[in-house]
Amino acid sequence: MTPWWKNATIYQIYPASYKDSNDDGIGDLPGIISKLDYIKSLGVNAIWVCPMYDSPQHDMGYDVSNYEDLYAPYGTVADVEALIAGCHARGLRILLDLVINHTSSEHAWFKESRASKTAAKRDWYIWRPARYDADGTRRPPNNWRSFFGGSAWEWDAASEEYYLHLFAVQQPDLNWENGDTRKALYESAMEFWLRKGIDGFRVDTVNMYSKEQSFRDADILDPVNEWQPAASLVCNGPRIHEFMREMGAILGKYDAVAVGELPNTPEIADVLGYVSEKEKKLSMVFQFDIVDIGFGPDLRFNTAPRNWTLPDLRRRVRCTQRLMDGTTDGWSTAFLENHDQARSVSRWGSEASPELWARSAKMLAMLVASLSGTLYVYQGQEIGMVNAPADWDVSEYKDVDSINYYSFVREKSGNDPVALDAAKRSLDHLARDHSRLPMQWDGSPNAGFAGETAKPWMRVHDNYPTLNVERQTLDQTSVLSFWRDLLRVRRENPRVFAEGVFVDSDPLNESVFVFEKRSETQKLFVALNFMDEVQAVDLKEKLDQPFQTLLGNCDEEPLDALLPYEGRIYLVEV
């Protein structure tokens, strides 16, 4: 029996930016509840709600100060219970976000831990003494870089030690080596909500809980930077699978699904360690092969638009898809967007004209929805939302990752305008902020995200009068209508869409991405033009059996050419 989540499409919601029901400018749970009928109408099977827990919001809720209560502007625990009931009443399932590599520095546990070196909960976090230079200058315990830049260690003057924070200073890493800490996490962050009937979790940074305990310096991979990336020392550590088995046992008690965020794990054998069915750990993972394309080699933002090639993208697609080639008992995911990624149309499609914007949004939809694995759609992707305009001032970027990067460049360059301009252009291209602009519901002020008197926490995109749900609902040729059709054909042909074997027979082609998906009884041919010019193709030689065109984003369908950003999905019954 195929578990529900294998052939499912899961819709990701970022609570701060989805729907503000009380005009305080912040999205909230009653707002999400008011949109459940819309969500159901998309044809998705479940929602994943990003952290709504109590938090000082230094990292938009990924800094949890109380796992068992809500960030007040989002609502109350009762609102979550109403959201769970609202989902289940519509045949939707609900996943919450599980953020247990770290807590907020405002969490009671951390306050107790930092009280003194001998505090009962001292060992619940990762404290280490300073190192000192020859001249007596105090230094962090090692050279690890935080994922948000700078040292991964913060000096606590009161208790005279450093604590580890792989992310923001306000996100101290929990010490998973301590069994009491794990037990408290399993109860407070997991079972408190599982008992309320949620269907599972998206698990944040799922491979970072076991660090190499030597805490030795990371290899110098970036000689010009004082702090070094430590992914190899903090990801997939020595006890991670022991911890995964503990979590898997709890999830199993509730028959709950778990999708783990698995960065920095390129080897399939390592991925299988997390998602092989017989391991009884996680159900599936988010791998970063596709979405990391185009990132800088050292820093995410040290890059420029369109610095990727189609052969590189195809190779990355194959990296993830090969896990589901019928030879393994593992499972993965298909996604192009989430709250950490810039908008897919801006990264890989076109905004050159309204026609190319819509066509490329549909082309990218056909790419991701034709891939095997559980499909994830991020709020706004279904209407083709795009990056914030490049002429917005840098002050519109609210994300800690963006703010830290811009400050880093300002410091490093001595406030050099050329360097700062390049940094702003990098943020315009790849900042996480682009996925966090308020959802665009209609053409009213604030795009219907909030009432016209509200001041949304993040600026609404200027294009909301023409790019919004209401306008696209009325238009059968809209991106939204296309996504509804696409999810329908995927639902109607689950074996070949969600479980079919991916075959790319032309991996070096630099302009047109034609791939197949094969099941026992059907074959898909997906032909996608990634360029803004007409491309000659020879689809005739592939379509040598009777075929059906399931979907396409242009009117004509010559077998020897594809228009700019044209895509088609053909179905062959074998």
Residues annotated as catalytic (active site), given as ranges: 204, 261
Selected range binding ligand TEU among 70-78, 259-267, 361-369, 546-554, rule: CB under 6 A: 259-267
Check if the beta carbon of residue 375 is closer than 8 Å to that of residue 369. yes
The pair of structure tokens assigned to 348 is 């890989």
Q: 């948000």: which residue's tokens?
A: 148
Q: Which of 3, 6, 22, 196 binds Ca ion (CB under 5 A)?
A: 22
CB of 204 to ligand TEU, least distance (A): 5
3-class secondary-structure state, position 419: helix
Print the binding letters for residues 27-56 with Ca ion: x by CB under 5 A, - otherwise: -x----------------------------
C-alpha closest to that of 386 among 341, 443, 446, 334: 341
Task: CB nearer to ligand TEU: give 74 or 497.
Answer: 74
Selected range binding Ca ion among 19-27, 174-182, 455-463, 521-529, rule: CB under 5 A: 19-27
Nearest-angstrom CA–CA distance, 377 and 305: 23
Print the binding letters for residues 202-241 with ligand TEU: x by CB under 6 A, - otherwise: --xx------------------------------------
Check if the beta carbon of residue 449 is closer than 8 Å to that of residue 438. yes
Task: CB nearer to ligand TEU: give 204 or 337.
Answer: 204
The pair of structure tokens assigned to 197 is 């009937």
Nearest-angstrom CA–CA distance, 11 and 27: 16
Task: CB nearer to ligand TEU: give 262 or 512.
Answer: 262
Non-local CB neighbours of 228 within 8 Å, separated by 6+ positions: 143, 144, 145, 217, 218, 219, 220, 221, 222
Residues 146-205 that bind ligand TEU (CB under 6 A): 147, 167, 204-205
CB of 338 to ligand TEU, least distance (A): 7
Nearest-angstrom CA–CA distance, 391 and 398: 16
464-491 CB burial, b ≥16 within 10 A, e <16: beebbbebbbeeeebbbbbbbbbbebbb
Selected range binding Ca ion among 16-24, 290-298, 343-351, 353-361, rule: CB under 5 A: 16-24
Binding site partner of 205, from ligand TEU, Ca ion, none, Cβ cut-off 5-8 A by kind: ligand TEU
Print the binding letters for residues 60-79 with ligand TEU: x by CB under 6 A, - otherwise: --x-----------------
Binding site partner of 147, from ligand TEU, Ca ion, none, Cβ cut-off 5-8 A by kind: ligand TEU
Question: DSSP E strands: which ranges in 446-547?
Answer: 501-503, 512-518, 522-529, 535-536
How many residues belong to the site for Ca ion (CB under 5 A)? 5
Binding site partner of 26, from Ca ion, ligand TEU, none, Cβ cut-off 5-8 A by kind: Ca ion
Selected range binding ligand TEU among 260-268, 359-367, 515-523, 564-572, rule: CB under 6 A: 260-268
| Widest distance between CA atoms in the chain | 79
Q: 């990924």: which residue's tokens?
A: 62
Task: CB nearer to ligand TEU: give 48 or 483.
Answer: 48
Binding site partner of 24, from ligand TEU, Ca ion, none, Cβ cut-off 5-8 A by kind: Ca ion
Task: CB nearer to Ca ion: give 22 or 225.
Answer: 22
Print the binding letters for residues 303-342 with ligand TEU: x by CB under 6 A, - otherwise: ------------------------------------xx--
For residue 368, state whether it binds ligand TEU (rule: CB under 6 A).
no
C-alpha closest to that of 80 among 161, 165, 196: 196
CB of 397 to ligand TEU, least distance (A): 14
Can you state the angle between helices 479-492 and 354-369, rounded to 10 degrees?
20
The pair of structure tokens assigned to 562 is 């594809």
Task: CB nearer to ligand TEU: give 227 or 497.
Answer: 227
CB of 435 to ligand TEU, least distance (A): 10
Binding site partner of 153, from ligand TEU, Ca ion, none, Cβ cut-off 5-8 A by kind: none
CB of 465 to ligand TEU, least distance (A): 30
Check if the beta carbon of residue 435 is closer than 8 Å to that of residue 380. yes
CB of 125 to ligand TEU, least distance (A): 15
C-alpha closest to that of 448 among 434, 457, 436, 460: 460
Nearest-angstrom CA–CA distance, 553 and 367: 12
224-258 CB burial, b ≥16 within 10 A, e <16: ebebbbbbebbbbbeebbebbebbbeebeebebbb
Selected range binding Ca ion among 26-34, 184-192, 244-252, 522-530, rule: CB under 5 A: 26-34
Binding site partner of 204, from ligand TEU, Ca ion, none, Cβ cut-off 5-8 A by kind: ligand TEU
Q: Which of 7, 10, 18, 20 binds Ca ion (CB under 5 A)?
A: 20
Binding site partner of 246, from ligand TEU, Ca ion, none, Cβ cut-off 5-8 A by kind: none
Q: For residue 18, what are the CA distances in angstroms to 12, 39, 256?
A: 10, 12, 25
Angle at CA of residue 42, ends 40 and 45, nearest 5°? 55
For residue 301, state whether it binds ligand TEU (rule: CB under 6 A).
no
DSSP string, 382-410: GGT--PPPTTS-GGG---HHHHHHHHHHH
How many residues belong to the site for ligand TEU (CB under 6 A)? 13
Phi-psi region of 227 (alpha: psi -120 to 50; beta: other; left: phi over 0): beta
Task: CB nearer to Ca ion: give 78 or 220.
Answer: 78
337-348 CB burial, b ≥16 within 10 A, e <16: bbbbbbbbbbbb
Residues 81-120 that bind ligand TEU (CB under 6 A): 99
Binding site for ligand TEU (CB under 6 A): 59, 62, 99, 147, 167, 204-205, 261, 263-264, 288, 339-340
Binding site for Ca ion (CB under 5 A): 20, 22, 24, 26, 28
